[in-house]
Structures are given as C-alpha cells and as structure tokens.
A and B are shown apart, each in its own frame.
Chain A
C-alpha cells in the first residue's frame, strides 16, 4: 500500500519533469539561430522553399507561440515525436528500435560498476594503512580522471587490434545469423568491451565513495558498541559498517544514473553499439534536431526510471524512511 502510493507519487513527479523537458525542448528550438522549420527538417537538406512552407503549416509555425507550444506538447503527449526527414522514419520508431540496446548496455554497466565499486571500496577501507588499499585508491583516482571515450579507444586498440580477443564494433557478428544460445553468447561477447569501459569511470566513483563512507561509518558509536559485544571484525565490517555505509552510495547511484546515460552516448559512438546514444551521434552529424530532441527526452525519461528504482531500494534499506510515509 505504502509502495503503491509512493510509486504513484514518483510517477506524478516524473510526469511533471517530463512535461517541463518538453517545454524546454520547444524553447530550445525557438532559441536556435535560423528558421525553426529548417531546424526541424534538418538544416542541410532543407533548401527547398516549398518543402519548408509545407513544414511551417504542418507544425503551425506561422501561428502564435503559445499555439505552437500547445501543438508541440499535445503532439508529444500522444507520443508523436515528429518525423526524422533524414532517416525517413518517425522519431519514436527510431528510438524504440534502438532503446533495448541502450538498456542492455547501461543496465549491465550500472550493475557491474556498483558491484565492483562497492567491493573494491570496502577492500580499500579495510586496508586503510596497507599498500593494497593505497593501490586500489590510486587506480580509482586514475580511472576517475580518464576520459571515457579515450579508454574505449584504447581498449579497442589493445583487446581487438593487438590481442584480437574481443570484437571492436557492433552488437553482434554481421552475417553470422546466430540464433538461440549462440546469439546470446555473441551479444555477450560484443557487450564486454563497451560495458566494462562504461563501467570503469563509475566503478571508480563508487570505490572512492564506498571507502569514504565506510571510514566514516567506522567512526560511529555503534561500531564501538559492536566491538564491546565481542563481535569479530569481519562481522562488524559487514553488518554494522558496510550496511550503514551503503545508504549514501544508493543515493549517489541514483544521481549518477544521468551521467551513465550520457556516458553511453560516447561508448556507443566508439563501439558502434546500436543504441540511442549512437543514434544521437548520428542525429548530431546530420544536424537532425528533431531526432536529437526526441532522444534527449527519452534519455531524461530513462534517468527518471533509474531514480525511481534507486529510491525504492533506499526505502528497503533504511527503516527510518518508512515512518515518513
């Protein structure tokens, strides 16, 4: 019951945010230098005046601004994201076709980075004064400073070009037409490099955060209580320190979801992964603004989904929250 209400409220909030993004998108088009019709058409190919006039009428661009806004918002509310004249397909179809690949990539990277980051961070916290702890932290610092797209390129160079272990491009072997298990394995093999390079940066963040959070938790009075009980260090680390230290990590993971979707744009571009990130790059290259804004909208929606998810997890983890609802 509590959860149903909670989810309902989060969804309401999400709808408001998405509405604001639509409005924001609309004004972005208005603010762009040049003719909005040309922008909607993709400026390079839109020199045909008759075509532009047709567009203007279609989108009501000759009408007052608020009417245009209404057209735009109501269009998106009915899932009409417009037409990509460059790709000759409705924007929505293009995005939906590419969305599963992005979900697979970001989902894998999210779980991977969180699991490895928390693991490495708690190792480092338990080995504060030892060399192994310092090495973990030094690595985390380096990964944190490494540009994602560059690490992706270097991974291609090393694992695909020199070692030839893993495929460098795409989501599956072109022309192989695998089915069943073979297909899954093929995709998994293609997934390794993009997912791990995307996860690397976030793993570094979670490692640093976990360590700091655990060191802070280990200063708390209840840890002293636990030691006074005669509990073993291992149990104290896991049950008392880590559990409490995880709470801020969950919050952070929610906040980082947006960054991860952004990171996917770069990763998909480098690895030619057929997701919405790669689609965004294509839209960018072709100045296909309508598609660009559609993808922007969907990536924001994706972040909201991630946020609701982490919110629910947080509520499971912290008994104190329940009281508030």
Chain B
C-alpha cells in the first residue's frame, strides 16, 4: 500500500528477567495507513500498548527490542538516536494517554502545556503559541476556550482534560496519532463525545490513527481495521467489518461473545412478589467538613430516592460517576448513614440502627466490592478472611473455617484455597473469594458495587454467570450497581437509572433498555459504543 504511514515488521520486545513471560510482544506485524483507524485490541497483559510505546521511543525500563523493525515512512524508528526520535515525537507522531487525571502537569496552565509542543520544536514566538493553543482548544470543542486556556488541570473535568490532551497531540498536525485507551477512564457519554471527536479530526486531517483499546464496542464504533492481540502475539488481523461480523480465531470469537449483547433476556416472573427491601425518600448530603478556617462544601449524593426490591429479584442501579449510585449501595449496607428517609429490610428500618443493633442486623445484607485487589486483606489467609464474619457473629472458629472451605468449593475455587494468601490469586479468582465472603453470613440481599468493572470481559462473563447461579441456588436477592448499561440489561430484572442523586427512570430491563421514556436514558443508551453496529447486525 502506498499510503502506509507506519509499518511494524516482526517486532519482538523482550521483557526483563524475572517477568512472568519472556516477550512483551512477539513477532508482531501490522501496518497503519493514512486515513484509517487501526484498532489494536486485547485484554490486560496482551502487550497491545507495547508496540505503540516502541514507536514513540517510550518503552518502559527494561523492555528492549530484540528483533524486527518499525518503519515510519520507510525509516526504521528502532535505529534512530534519541535526538532524531525526539524530533519526530509531537511533530510527526502525536500520542494521547489513558488517564486524563494524571497525564497533565498539575502545576501548569492548559494553554502553556499546549504551547510547549510548539516550543519543543522551536516554532513561533510566545504570543503566537498562545494564539495557536486557543484555536486548538476551539477545534477540540472545549467550552469557553478563553477560560480553559488559563485553567489548571484540576479545574477541568475528565473529558475536558482529554480534549486538552488531544489538542496537544494534534498541535503540529502529525501524520500519525497514537491513542492509548483514551476513553477508558471516562463516563460513557463523555466517551462517546471523545470518540466522535477523534473520528472527526481523523477524517478532517486524513490522519493515520493507531487506537489501542480493550473494548470491542469501541472497536465497532471507530475501527477501519483491527488487530487482536493476546499474550504478546497477534491473533487476528483484518478489516473491522470482517472481524466483527465473522471472527476467524476462537479467541476473537470468545472476546466478542463475552460482550454483553443488546438482546435483553425476557423478564422472569418473580413467583413471590413480596418486597424485601423498601427504600423510602432517602437523602444523603456529603459535607466536606470545613475546619475552623475552611468553608464547608456540600454535594447532594442522594435526593429523595425511593424504590423497592422484591425477594428473589435483581435490581440494577445504573448511572455515570457522580450519579449517587454507589452512595445508594453503601447506604443499603449501612457503610454510609443516610441523612433522612427509611431503609426497610423486611420491615426493619436499617437506617435508624446504631452500634450493636446495627452489627446484629447488618449481616443480612452483604456486599461484593469493585476492586479485587483492595477487597482482601493482604495479610489474612483466604479461609480466615471468609470465616471472620461468622466468627465475629459467634460461630466457633473451627466450624467457621470449615464452612469457609465449603464456600470456596461453591464459588469454584476448591477448599484447598483456604490456606493461601490473596496475592496468590488472579483478579477474577479474588472476586470469587469476595463473593464467598459475602455469602458466609447467609445474607438475604447482596449488593454488588461495580463488582465486575475491574475485570477483563472474558472474566466478567464468568463472574456474572457465577452470581446468577448462586442467586438461584441460594435464593438471594441482588442489588447490582454498575456504570455499564449492557451488563445491567443482562442480569437485572428491573433497572433504575440515576443522575445527580435522583432517580431518572425505573422499570423492567425490557422497558428501560428497549423503550426508554426519559431523554437522559436515551442519551446513555446511544452512548454505548458499538450499539449501532450491533443493531445493524441483529
């Protein structure tokens, strides 16, 4: 192809000794051409970002190329000295990163950080640089660019910061833009806007884009071509439409299958529609307690929230960050104390309980947490971690430990796991341990707070299956909190959509997902990456 901008040939990158495998990338070959978006997809540890880092000359310490070449307009980037490579960066190759929170220097104004790109390449004078920065901020669609240019990163939202990053990467009109998971840390509606911006800019400038992601939805949204990677190797390479529609490799197929589909399972009839949890007019305001000298600030997290959850039912609470969905979950398990309103569990008002009374009642509601790495005490053996609940509630230690073994069996880890420490387990396995711990007290209700958000899609599917299975076996009820509407549609009987601490809409999964009444719900649904593609495919 004459338009090839970047050509990666047999690239092999060695990991330092002592790593869990020898190569970060092995014999990787793909091209990126002018005017196309090449999506490099893979789960964590697939080495999908490694080639990009090599292109930029920003490989992590200890990782070094051992074979192959990276041709940029025919010139091998691996053979460039640092000075020449630096001249390419920013000028002919731009890059944006995943974390907009940390990728900008907290002590520099946005405008100055953009102007720095021109300075790095000795272009224009100080005044012109600021003017250019301003027009770039306009181009990436930041509201009030004259203000944004003087703003420090902490004064901007996540999406705005990512726009600043994009302005910076595109300042010198590079031929190649590398985007490394640029929307992963953003809310779904913001993600949709940023994806649109990238696609838009790419078409207007006819750039080559190398887009790294773990999300096939995003791939469906913007990819021209796709490269699927696994454990450092290219598994499948081809046109986006081919790979999405007719994946050849089994791994690709499993990844695509693991995405929760848009097809909402038919509503199950709940045999016994007796309410287990009744939430009435719950309010919660967070006050940053000002000190003697500091003014206090208030954030309304829950504003008059009411709903019921029937026995045996799964209710999903969906919303973006700041919607109050997590606070809702934390109030139900009473990690937070609501300011007013009632939380009736089988008629017992949990919100009024304190001290010992609370300790006695709270075992009926347990929680599965988001972060599998933070949810287990690194110094406690897994068996004991599970048994601690029953022990605290008066079960003899030996008996509690035996039960813990049974529970580990139940969640598919085997009783032998009890003797091991958390760090010996993978993320998905730890999440199973967390579930076993939640089950140890025979709760009636389980609150799952973003319980699968930190996991790779394939693992995500397994954990969802396990939850579903346990729910049936143990006749549990589930309050499922997530930012991901697709996941909610898969597992929930009813869905509650929250925004700014209020309930926007609630109804059966079918109703909310297929015929939403509120504009905000529609906006959320439209923002789901890959939805249009899938709708076409169905």
Contact = CB atoms under 8 A, between A and B. Distances in A.
Contacts of B99: 221
Contact of B97 (A9, A224, A324): A224
Contacts of A325: 294
A221 B165 CA distance: 12
A235 to B, nearest CB: 7
B105 A320 contact: no
Contacts of B155: 323
Contact of B58 (A9, A227, A244): A227
Interface in B148-164: 152, 154-155
B380 interface: no
A225 B104 contact: yes
A222 interface: yes
Contacts of B117: 229-230
Contact of A9 (B56, B102, B293): B293
Interface string A227-246: 11111100100011001100
A226 interface: yes
Interface in B77-108: 86-91, 94-95, 97, 99, 102-108
B121 interface: yes
A232 B106 contact: no
B91 A228 contact: no
Given A221-B102, A224-B58, A323-B154, A229 B168 contact: yes
Nearest to A10: B293
Describe A's contact surface by its main secondary structure. Answer: helix
A225 B110 CA distance: 13
A215 to B, nearest CB: 12
Contacts of A235: 120
A244 B106 contact: yes
A230 B88 contact: yes
A132 interface: no
A229 B90 contact: yes
B198 interface: no
Interface residues of B, number: 32
Contact of A232 (B56, B91, B97, B120): B120
Interface in A238-283: 239-240, 243-244
Contacts of B104: 222, 225
Given A226-B116, A227-B58, A319 B103 contact: no
Contacts of A240: 105, 108
A82 B163 CA distance: 66
B169 interface: yes
Given A319-B107, A320-B154, A323-B154, A228 B293 contact: no
A230 B294 contact: no
A318 interface: yes
Interface in A13-55: none
Contacts of B108: 239-240
Interface string A287-325: 000000000000000000000000000000111100111
B83 to A, nearest CB: 9
A76 to B, nearest CB: 24
Interface in A66-107: none
A222 B106 CA distance: 8
Contact of B102 (A222, A228, A239, A319): A222
B120 A231 contact: yes
Contacts of A229: 89-90, 116-117, 120, 168
Contacts of A324: 294
A220 interface: yes
Interface in A196-241: 220-222, 224-232, 235, 239-240
Contacts of A222: 102-106
Nearest to B91: A230
Contact of A243 (B56, B94, B107, B119): B107
Nearest to B104: A222
B116 A319 contact: no
A240 B108 CA distance: 9
Given A227-B89, A229-B90, A230-B90, A244 B154 contact: no
Nearest to A13: B293
Contact of B107 (A226, A228, A318): A318
A230 to B, nearest CB: 4
Contacts of A230: 86-91, 117, 120-121
B97 A225 contact: yes
Which residue, A9, A220, A231, has most C-beta atoms of chain B within 10 A? Answer: A231
A209 B115 CA distance: 31
Interface string B104-132: 11111000000011011100000000000
Contacts of A9: 293
B103 A231 contact: no
A230 B86 CA distance: 5
Contacts of B107: 243-244, 317-319
Contact of A224 (B91, B103, B152, B293): B103
Interface string B448-465: 000000000000000000
Contacts of B116: 226, 229, 231, 239
Nearest to A243: B107
A225 B120 contact: no
A320 B88 CA distance: 33
A228 B90 contact: yes
Contact of B105 (A226, A227, A232, A318): A226
Contacts of A224: 58, 97, 103
Contacts of A319: 106-107, 152, 154
A39 to B, nearest CB: 36
Which residue, A225, A243, A244, has most C-beta atoms of chain B within 10 A? Answer: A225
A220 B97 CA distance: 12
Given A225-B168, A228-B56, A228-B94, A220 B102 contact: yes
A228 B169 contact: yes
Contacts of B58: 224, 227-228
Contacts of B102: 220-222
Nearest to B60: A224
A239 B97 CA distance: 20
B408 to A, nearest CB: 37
B158 to A, nearest CB: 14
A320 B106 contact: yes
Contacts of A221: 97, 99, 102-103
A229 B121 CA distance: 9
Contacts of B90: 228-231
5 contacts: A227-B56, A228-B56, A230-B90, A230-B121, A244-B106
Given A230-B121, A239-B108, 5 more contacts: A222-B103, A224-B97, A224-B103, A228-B56, A323-B155
Interface of A: 9, 220-222, 224-232, 235, 239-240, 243-244, 317-320, 323-325
Q: Which 9 residue pairs across A and B have the least CB separation, nearest first?
A: A230-B90, A230-B89, A221-B102, A229-B90, A228-B95, A222-B105, A221-B103, A231-B120, A230-B120
